[in-house]
Structure 1
Amino acid sequence: MKKQIVHTIKKLSIVALAITISSCNNAKSNQQKETFKLQYDEPAEKWTEALPVGNGSLGAMIYGGVSQEHIQFNEETLWRGQPHDYSHEGAGEYLGEIRTLLATGKQLEAQRLAQEHFMSDPIKQIHYQPFGDIYFDFKNHENYKNYKRELNLNNAVSSVSYTVEDVAYKREVLSSFPDQIIAINVSASKEKALNFDLWLDAIHEDKSVVTSNNTQTLVVKVKDGVLWGVSTLKIKTDGTVTTTDGKLQITDASNATVYLSAATNYVDFNDVTGTPEKIVPETLVNVQDQSFEFVKERHISDYQSLYNRFQISFGDNGKSKNPTDKRIADFSKTPNDPQLVALYVEYARYLTIASSRPGTKPATLQGIWNDKLTPPWFSSYTTNINLEMNYWPVEMYNLSECHEPLFDLIEDLSITGSKVAKTHYNADGWIVHHNVDIWRGAAPVNASHHGIWLGGAAWLSSHIWEHYLFTQDKEFLKKRYPLLRNAALFYSQFLHEDPNTGYLISSPSNSPEIGGLVAGPTMDHQLIRALFKTTIEASKILDQDAEFTSTLKPMINKIAPNQIGKHGQLQEWMEDKDNPENHHRHVSHLWAVHPGNEINFDETPDLMQAAKQSLEYRGDNGTGWSLAWKINFWSRFKDGDHAYKLLHKLLSPAERPNGKVGGGSYPNLFDAHPPFQIDGNFGGASGILEMLLQSQLKYIELLPALPSTLPEGHVSGILARGGFELAFSWEAGTLKNVSVLSKSGMPCVLKYGDKSIEFETEAGKTYNFDGLLNKKS
C-alpha cells in the first residue's frame, strides 16, 4: 500500500490613538521577500558542511564536489527493529515499593529495583538509518574556477556552479513534495561537453544494485530488523547513456536530469507490509515525461506557498555576500551581521518545511538527515525537551500545518502509551517517557535514574493546546481533545499523596538528567497543572466532558507548588537541595517560564525572580539546544541583551581552533549539541521570535526583549495566540507601525512598553496602527 502524503496547503477602545481598518486578508507589508542563501566558495569536505534538501520524507545532503559529487540521502521510515511492545509485564507490581523507597530517602535502592523490574523490554530502543548515496564522477574537471555552492532558501534549491576551461557547468538539486522525488539537473554551456558516470551505493551490509538502460535500482535491508527499502534513479539526457561496470555512463551531453524515488515496507508502527518495489516505479512513472523545469516549478510553487507567508529583516546594516562559514566565524568575534540572525530564522523555517510536512513523520533529533548506521542518540525522538523544541516556533513563524506530524505521533503514542500506563502504573489513560522510536515505544528506556521521567504525555499534549490557541480551530480541538483528556486521566490516577508533605506529587520520576530518580520533581508538577488547566478549558470550549474535568479542578491546588529555596532560586525538587555550582545544560524546572506560562511577571513576580536566579546559577554555557532554551528564557525575562549574548554563542563556530567541537553552529548552520541536533536550530529561531513578540498571557506584547544590537528591522506574517497575524517595524529601537490581521474575530490587546490598547475585531479584517505606541515613556 502506498504511503499517503496529505498535501494540505491547508467595539474599539482607544485613548488618543489612530487606527485604520481595512478588509485586507493578510497583515503583510508591501516589502519584497528578501532572498536568503547559504553560500560557499568551496565544496563540502564533511557532512556538516554539506547542504540539506528535504520534502518531509525524502532528505538529502549535497556535498557539491567537482570531480566527484556525493549526495547522501534518507527516507524517513528506514529504521532498525520491528513492531514491538516495549512495556514490561509485571512492572506495576513494584510501583508501590519504588515509591516507598524514595519517600524514605533510599534513592539508590529505588533505582536498582526499578532498573531490574520497571524498565522497558528490551532496555534500548532502535536506530534511524541512512538509505543510500548517489555519486557522480565528472571527466577532466580537476582544474576549475569560479566555484559557487549555495542553498537558496527562497526556492529550496541547492546549486553548484563552476567553469572548466571555457565551459560553465551547473547542478541543481531539490526534493519535491508534490512529486515525492529528489530531482537533480546537470548542465553544460557547450554542446556535448557533459560526460560523467553515475551510480547508487549504500553503507548497509545487505544491499544490491541493478542497472538497466537509463535506470539503476538500489535495494537495502537494515541490520537487526524487518525493514527494507527500494530506491531507483532514472536519467533523462540529450547525450548517450550506456552501462559500464555497474555504472551509468553519460557522454556527449549538454543536459541531464536525474529523478530518484525511495520507499520502504513500513506502513505504520504495527504494519510492515508495504510494497516499495511497486511504490517507487509508480512514483517515477508520474514524472518520467516531465522536464526538470516543470518539476522545479511545481516544487517551488508548493514550497513558496508555505515559505512566503513570513518575512524578517534586521535592516540593511550587516548584509553580507561573504560565504556563510566565514560569516559564522566573523560573527563569533563581533556580532555585526544582524542579517545572519534573520538568515538563521529563515533557515529554521526552511528546515521545518523540509523535515515535517502533513502526512509525514515528525522531525527526529536530526530532522530527516542522518549518515550513520549508529547515529547519535539513535536519531530518535527525545521527549524530555528535544522533540518539543523542534516545534516551538512552528505556529509563530506561520507553518501551522507542519505541526501535524507531531499530532499524528501523539495519536500513536496514546495507543502504545495506554498499554504502558496500565502495565507500569496500574492506571488508565496514556503516558510516554523520555525517548520514542518509530515503533512508538512509550515505556521507560536506558536507565532508571533518567529513563523514568513522567512528563512526556503532558508536554506533548501542550502542543495540541498551543495549536488551538494560535488557530482557534475548534474542529481540530474536538478531534484531538481525547488525547488531552486521556493524558489528564493518567495523571489524575498517577498522582499520589506525599507522606511527608500531604501534597499530590509525581513519583517516581526525575528532573531530566539531573539528580537521579526522585519523588516530586518541580517540572512534572508544572506540566501536570498546565495539562489539567488546558483540559478543563478545552472541555468548556467544546461544551463536553464536564463531569470528568470537574474531578481535575480540586486536584490542581493540591499538587505540590513551585517553591523558592534558600539561595533565592526556584527549587528543582521538593527538597531545598539545589546546588548553585551546578551548571548542567538542562534547566527543566523553568518549564513554567518557557514554554509554559504559569510563572510570569504579571501574576507571579517573586517566582519569576527566583527562576531568573536559577538560570543565573546555571550559567551561560551549554550545548546547542541548551543555549537555544536559555535564549527563550532570557527573552521571557525581557532581557534582550542577555538573550542576544547567548545567541552570539549559538551562532559561533562549533568547530574550535583547538580541534574540539562545542555548542554552536557547523559551517552549514546545523546546530551542534555536539554532534548535530536540529532542535537547537528550531529552539534558537523560537528565542529570536520571542525577542520580537510574546503572546503567552492575555495580550500581545511587541518588542518585549529587543536587543540593542538589533535596533532596526521588520517582521511580517508572524502569528500570535488568539488567531492573529502581525506585521510591524521598528527603527532606533522604537516601534514604528503595526498591522494586525484578525483570523478568528477574537478581542485583541496589544502592549508595547507600559502602553496598551484593547479592541474588538472581525474575522478577516486587518487593523493598521500608524504611530501607535511609538515610544516608551
Structure 2
Amino acid sequence: MKKRLLAGPIVLVLGAALTVVPAATAQSAAKPYTLWYDEPAPDTNAGWEERSLPIGNGAMGATVFGGVQAERLQFNDKTLWTGGPGVADYTYGNWDAPRPGALEAIRQRIWNEGGISPNDVLASLGLKSDTPRHRRFGAYQSFGDLRLTFPGLTGAPADYRRELDIARGVAGVSFTAGGVRHTREYFASAPAGVIVARLAADRPGGLTFTAGIAVPANRSATATAAGGRATVKGALTSNGMRYEAQVRVLGQGGTRTDNPDGTVTLTGADSALLILGTGTDYAADYPAYKGDDPHAALTARVDAAAALGYARLRHGHLTDHGRLFDRVRLDLGGSLPGDPTDDLLARYGKDAAPAADRALEQLFYQYGRYLLIASSRPGSLPANLQGVWNVSEAPPWQSDYHLNINLQMNYWPAEMTGLAELAQPLHAYVGGLREPGRVTAGQMYGADGWVAHHASNIFGHTGAWDHPAYFFPESGAWLSLQLYDHYRFTLDENYLKRTAYPVMKEAAQFWLDFLQTDPRDGRLVAIPSRSPEIGPTTAGAAMSQQILWALFTDLREAAGLVGDGEYATRAARVLARLDPGLRVGKWGQLQEWKEDIDDPAETHRHVSHLFAVHPGRQISPRTTPELAQAAKVSLNARTDAGTGWSKAWKINFWARLLDGDRAHKLLSDQLQTSTLANLWDTHPPFQIDGNFGATSGMTEMLLQSHLGTVDLLPALPASWADGRVSGLRARGAHTVDLTWASGRLSEARLTAGKSGPVEVRNAAFRGGVRITGERGGPVVHTRDGDTVTFQARPGAVYRIVAVR
C-alpha cells in the first residue's frame, strides 16, 4: 500500500511554467502525455531509480523527487567522469606493451580446436580482470544535489501532485500547507544551457527557503555564496578533473542572505527563480581530453540565463522542446483515466481496460522520444547507459557507452520518430573514436583503419575490455552502419561525404586486414569471433559476419555515391568472398556460430545472431522466407523472457518478422515486468536503452523502410485495431502519416523527400489503390500485388487510399 504521508525530501527540477492541476480536479484533467503521482519519491537511491522524474537538456540532467519540507535536485553533467588520462597508466584500453605473435597464436588454436574459451583469448592477449584497469577506465559521476529546505512548512500538506509533462518538458509539484498554495515548476533549457526552477506561494511573502549545493565526497570542494549565487567548485580525486556548479537565487519580494556556509536564504518572498549551471574542464580532444577551467564560461552562461528572466526562459524552452516533441503524434485509441501513473502501470493488462492500456502505451512511446530529447542534443556527448541521469559515484556498468548494442539501441528511434538531429552527438562521438581507434588497430592487431571494442568512456577507450564476455572488435563497424543509416533517412550528401563515409571507409580498412580465409571453404571470416556474452570464441560467429556483410554492403553503395570507385570495387570483392553468417541448423534454427552447435535449451538474453533481422536487413519474410522462419525458431527457443533491453530488441525482431501480435506481447511483457513506476526501463537496474528500443519497436510495427519500400502498417497487432500516427520518417527522406480502422489502412499521406520513384506497400492495396496529389488530382501509378509505385516530387504530399 502506498503511503500518503507527504513530509519528506523532494528533488527539484528547475523549471518552466507548468499548469498545476489541484488534486480535486485531477480526475477530469488527465493529460495524455503527463506522468503524475500523488506522493513524493523517497529520498533514497531506490526512490531515485524507481520514482524520481527526469528532465534534461542534453548536456545536463536532473531528477525530481517532490518532497515538501525539503527538496533535493539531484543533477548531472555528462562530462563529469573519473578515470582517463588524468589517472596514472591510462592506456585507452590498449596493451601496456606489445605482444608480438599473440593474435596469430589465438587464430591457430581456433583453427586447430574449432572453438576455445574466451578466457584463453584474454590470457593470450595479455588481458586479465584487474581493479586498476577498471579504475583507469573510470565511471560517469553524479555531479551533486541542489538542496532546498523550507523551515515554515510543517505538517502534512493537502492536494499534493507531482508531475512531468513530457509534451512540454516541464515537471512540477503543488500542494497546500498552512492555508498557502505552493507551486514548484521545473525545466532544463537547451537554448540557455541551464536548469531552471520557479517556486511560488499564493500568499504574499509566503515563500521562505535556503538553497545550497552538496557534492559527493570523492572530490575536493569549496562552497561560497555572494550576490545570491551559491558556488561549489573543486577537482575529482581520481583524475584531477576540475568542476564547478553555480545556482543563482532571484527573489520576487523578500530578503536574500548569503550565508558563510555557501548557502543562500530567501525570506518572505512571493516567488523565486533559480538558475543552475554546471561545467568541467573536459574537452573532447584526444589524447589529453582537457580544456579550460569552467568558471568563466559557466558564470557567463548562468548570468545570461538570469538576464533573460523567467518568462523568456520559459518561452524559449517550450518553443525548443515543442519543435521536437510535436513532430510525431500517436493515437491508439487510448484514454487516460484520472489515476496516478504508478497505479495505471500496476493495472496494465490486468483489468480488461483497453482504453487505459492503449493510453499507457501511447505515453510509453512518447516517453522514449522525450528521454532522447532530454539526454541527447547537438554539441553534447551522446546518451549513455542511463541517458544523462545518474545518482551514484559507482554506477552500474560505469554508466558508460556499451558498444555491443546498448549505445546503438539508444539511437534506434531517432531517425524514425522525427529526431534525426539528436543523433549528432552519436555521430560526433564515433568520429572522435577514430584517432584512438587507429592506435588500437595498429598496436593490438597490426591493422590499418580504426577499431573499437565492446565499451568505451569519454576518454577514447577503444581497446579490449578485460572480461571474457566482452571481446567485440565489431563495435566500430556496427557504429559505422548507424551513421550510414542517417544518410539513408536524410539523403544529406554533404553529411555522407564529410561524416559518414570517412568513418565507414576507415572501419572497413581495419576489417580488410583482420579478415582471414577459412581453409574449410575459402570464405572470409572474422577470427577470433564471438557471439556477445555467450558461447566459445570461434571463427566466423554469425553476428560478426552479419555486421561485416552490412558494413561492406553499405560501403559499396556509399562509395558509389561519393565517387570512390576503388573502394566500391574493393567492397564488392570482399562481399563476393565474405561468409554471410546465415545458416539453418539441425533443429531449424538460425545458427549462432558457423558450426551447428546451438543449444535449443539456451535462453540467454542476447539473441545477437538475429542481427540480420534487426537492425540489419539480410533477413525478412518478404525476401528470405526460409531464413526468416529459422529466425523465428531461434527466437522461440530463447523465449520472451529477458532483461528490459532484451525484451525491447525482441519487439523489433518480431515487428521485422511481421508478427505484430507477438511484438505487442513483448511490449506488454516489458511494461509489466521491466518498467519502473516512473516508466524508466530496468535491466535491472535502470538502463535507458529499453525505453529507446521499445519506442523503436513500436514504430517498426507501424512503418518499415529498411528494404527500400515504404511498408505501411507491416506488423499491426490486433490490439491496435484503430488508430492514427503522424510524422513518422522513412528512408528516402519521406514523412508518413497513417490512419487505420478495424485493422485496415484507411489513408496514408506521404510527403516526398526526393524526386523519382517511390514504392509503397500495404496488404489492402491488393484490391486496388487511389493516389491523389496536393490539388486532388490523380497520380499515375503502377501496382504489383500489395505494392504501388509512383513518381514523386520533393516536398509534394500524396494521399494514398486503398480501394475497397
TM-score (norm 1): 0.91
Corresponding residue of 1:471: 490
1:107 to partner: Cα distance: 4.8
Residue 551 in structure 1 maps to residue 570 in structure 2: yes
Following the alignment from structure 2 to structure 1, what is the Cα–Cα distance between the partners of residues 642 and 171? 31
The answer to whether the 8 Å contact 1:214/1:248 transfers is: yes
Following the alignment from structure 2 to structure 1, what is the Cα–Cα distance between the partners of residues 184 and 579? 60
The one-letter code sitting in structure 1 at the alignment partner of 2:187 is: L
Corresponding residue of 1:208: 222
- Structure 1 residue matching 2:583: 3-state secondary structure: coil
Corresponding residue of 1:97: 105
Q: Which deviates more from structure 2 when the two are superposed, residues 370-379 or residues 459-468?
A: 459-468
The answer to whether the 8 Å contact 1:197/1:250 transfers is: yes
Residue 127 in structure 1 maps to residue 127 in structure 2: no
Following the alignment from structure 1 to structure 2, what is the Cα–Cα distance between the partners of residues 137 and 290? 26
Following the alignment from structure 1 to structure 2, what is the Cα–Cα distance between the partners of residues 113 and 748? 49
1:600 to partner: Cα distance: 1.1
The answer to whether the 8 Å contact 2:32/2:359 transfers is: no
1:106 to partner: Cα distance: 7.1
The one-letter code sitting in structure 2 at the alignment partner of 1:240 is: T
The one-letter code sitting in structure 1 at the alignment partner of 2:594 is: M
Flag the 1:227–1:460 CA change in 2: closer, same or farther, 3 A.
same
Residue 330 in structure 1 maps to residue 347 in structure 2: yes
The one-letter code sitting in structure 2 at the alignment partner of 1:228 is: R
Flag the 1:378–1:746 CA change in 2: closer, same or farther, 3 A.
farther
1:334 to partner: Cα distance: 4.7
Following the alignment from structure 2 to structure 1, what is the Cα–Cα distance between the partners of residues 431 and 634? 35
Which aligned pairs between 1:138-177 and structure 2 lie closer than 5 A? 138=150, 139-177=152-190
1:266 to partner: Cα distance: 0.3
Q: Which deviates more from structure 2 when the two are superposed, residues 752-761 or residues 392-401?
A: 752-761
Corresponding residue of 2:336: 319
Flag the 1:244–1:486 CA change in 2: closer, same or farther, 3 A.
closer
Which aligned pairs between 1:454-603 and structure 2 lie closer than 5 A? 454-480=473-499, 481-542=501-562, 544-561=563-580, 562-603=582-623
The one-letter code sitting in structure 2 at the alignment partner of 1:292 is: Y
Flag the 1:744–1:91 CA change in 2: closer, same or farther, 3 A.
farther
* One of 258, 261, 264 as aligned partner of 2:277: 261
Q: Which deviates more from structure 2 when the two are superposed, residues 583-592 or residues 299-308?
A: 299-308
The answer to whether the 8 Å contact 1:82/1:226 transfers is: no
Following the alignment from structure 2 to structure 1, what is the Cα–Cα distance between the partners of residues 718 and 524? 44
The answer to whether the 8 Å contact 2:77/2:278 transfers is: yes
Flag the 1:774–1:216 CA change in 2: closer, same or farther, 3 A.
farther
The answer for unaligned runs of 5 or more in structure 1 is 1-33, 655-663
Percentage of matched positions with identical amino acids: 37
Which aligned pairs between 1:651-670 and structure 2 lie closer than 5 A? 651-652=671-672, 654=673, 664-670=674-680
The answer to whether the 8 Å contact 1:102/1:508 transfers is: yes
The answer to whether the 8 Å contact 1:102/1:110 transfers is: no
Following the alignment from structure 1 to structure 2, what is the Cα–Cα distance between the partners of residues 511 and 192? 64
Flag the 1:411–1:558 CA change in 2: closer, same or farther, 3 A.
same
* One of 424, 441, 456 as aligned partner of 1:404: 424
The answer for unaligned runs of 5 or more in structure 2 is 1-30, 767-785
Residue 114 in structure 1 maps to residue 122 in structure 2: yes
- Structure 2 residue matching 1:533: 3-state secondary structure: helix
1:82 to partner: Cα distance: 2.6
Residue 366 in structure 1 maps to residue 366 in structure 2: no
The answer to whether the 8 Å contact 1:219/1:229 transfers is: yes
Flag the 1:365–1:746 CA change in 2: closer, same or farther, 3 A.
farther
Residue 87 in structure 1 maps to residue 94 in structure 2: yes
Residue 757 in structure 1 maps to residue 788 in structure 2: yes
The answer to whether the 8 Å contact 1:98/1:110 transfers is: no
- Structure 1 residue matching 2:348: 3-state secondary structure: helix
- Structure 1 residue matching 2:291: 3-state secondary structure: coil
* One of 242, 248, 254 as aligned partner of 1:239: 254
Following the alignment from structure 1 to structure 2, what is the Cα–Cα distance between the partners of residues 92 and 331? 58
Corresponding residue of 2:26: none
* One of 214, 218, 221 as aligned partner of 2:235: 221
Following the alignment from structure 2 to structure 1, what is the Cα–Cα distance between the partners of residues 186 and 579? 54
Corresponding residue of 1:295: 313
TM-score (norm 2): 0.88
1:500 to partner: Cα distance: 3.2
Corresponding residue of 1:390: 410
The answer to whether the 8 Å contact 1:41/1:149 transfers is: yes
The answer to whether the 8 Å contact 2:147/2:212 transfers is: yes
> RMSD in angstroms over aligned alpha carbons?
1.8
Corresponding residue of 1:658: none
Following the alignment from structure 1 to structure 2, what is the Cα–Cα distance between the partners of residues 591 and 92? 33
- Structure 1 residue matching 2:156: 3-state secondary structure: coil
Q: Which deviates more from structure 2 when the two are superposed, residues 362-371 or residues 601-610?
A: 601-610
CA offsets 1:549-603 (integer angstroms, 9 cap, x no match)? 3122122132223111001000000110000110000000000000111111222
1:604 to partner: Cα distance: 1.3
The answer to whether the 8 Å contact 2:212/2:264 transfers is: yes
Following the alignment from structure 2 to structure 1, what is the Cα–Cα distance between the partners of residues 199 and 726? 36
How many equivalent pairs are there? 728
1:516 to partner: Cα distance: 3.6
CA offsets 1:462-503 (integer angstroms, 9 cap, x no match)? 111110111011111011211111111111111001233332
1:63 to partner: Cα distance: 0.5
Which aligned pairs between 1:46-85 and structure 2 lie closer than 5 A? 46-48=47-49, 49-83=51-85, 84=90, 85=92
Corresponding residue of 1:745: 755
The answer to whether the 8 Å contact 2:153/2:178 transfers is: no
Following the alignment from structure 1 to structure 2, what is the Cα–Cα distance between the partners of residues 430 and 547? 19
Corresponding residue of 1:773: 802
The one-letter code sitting in structure 2 at the alignment partner of 1:723 is: A
Corresponding residue of 2:395: 375
CA offsets 1:68-97 (integer angstroms, 9 cap, x no match)? 111100001000013343221414531100
Which aligned pairs between 1:250-289 and structure 2 lie closer than 5 A? 250-269=266-285, 270-289=288-307
Flag the 1:330–1:475 CA change in 2: closer, same or farther, 3 A.
same
Following the alignment from structure 1 to structure 2, what is the Cα–Cα distance between the partners of residues 106 and 589? 18
The answer to whether the 8 Å contact 2:102/2:124 transfers is: no
Following the alignment from structure 1 to structure 2, what is the Cα–Cα distance between the partners of residues 566 and 756? 35
The answer to whether the 8 Å contact 1:204/1:221 transfers is: no
The answer to whether the 8 Å contact 1:101/1:110 transfers is: no
- Structure 2 residue matching 1:288: 3-state secondary structure: helix
The answer to whether the 8 Å contact 2:341/2:677 transfers is: yes
Flag the 1:200–1:746 CA change in 2: closer, same or farther, 3 A.
farther
Corresponding residue of 1:660: none
CA offsets 1:439-468 (integer angstroms, 9 cap, x no match)? 121111022x32321211111011111101
The answer to whether the 8 Å contact 2:68/2:153 transfers is: no
- Structure 2 residue matching 1:730: 3-state secondary structure: strand
1:182 to partner: Cα distance: 0.6
Following the alignment from structure 2 to structure 1, what is the Cα–Cα distance between the partners of residues 223 and 803? 65
- Structure 2 residue matching 1:740: 3-state secondary structure: strand
The one-letter code sitting in structure 1 at the alignment partner of 2:798 is: Y
Flag the 1:406–1:109 CA change in 2: closer, same or farther, 3 A.
closer
Flag the 1:563–1:108 CA change in 2: closer, same or farther, 3 A.
closer
1:746 to partner: Cα distance: 4.0
Flag the 1:380–1:241 CA change in 2: closer, same or farther, 3 A.
same
Following the alignment from structure 1 to structure 2, what is the Cα–Cα distance between the partners of residues 69 and 224? 29
The one-letter code sitting in structure 2 at the alignment partner of 1:103 is: W
Corresponding residue of 1:7: none
The answer to whether the 8 Å contact 1:450/1:516 transfers is: no
The answer to whether the 8 Å contact 1:67/1:142 transfers is: no
- Structure 2 residue matching 1:395: 3-state secondary structure: helix
The one-letter code sitting in structure 2 at the alignment partner of 1:697 is: L
CA offsets 1:48-74 (integer angstroms, 9 cap, x no match)? 211111001010011011111111000
CA offsets 1:293-350 (integer angstroms, 9 cap, x no match)? 22111111111111111111112x4432211111111114257210111111111111
The one-letter code sitting in structure 1 at the alignment partner of 2:139 is: H
1:760 to partner: Cα distance: 0.8
The one-letter code sitting in structure 2 at the alignment partner of 1:154 is: A
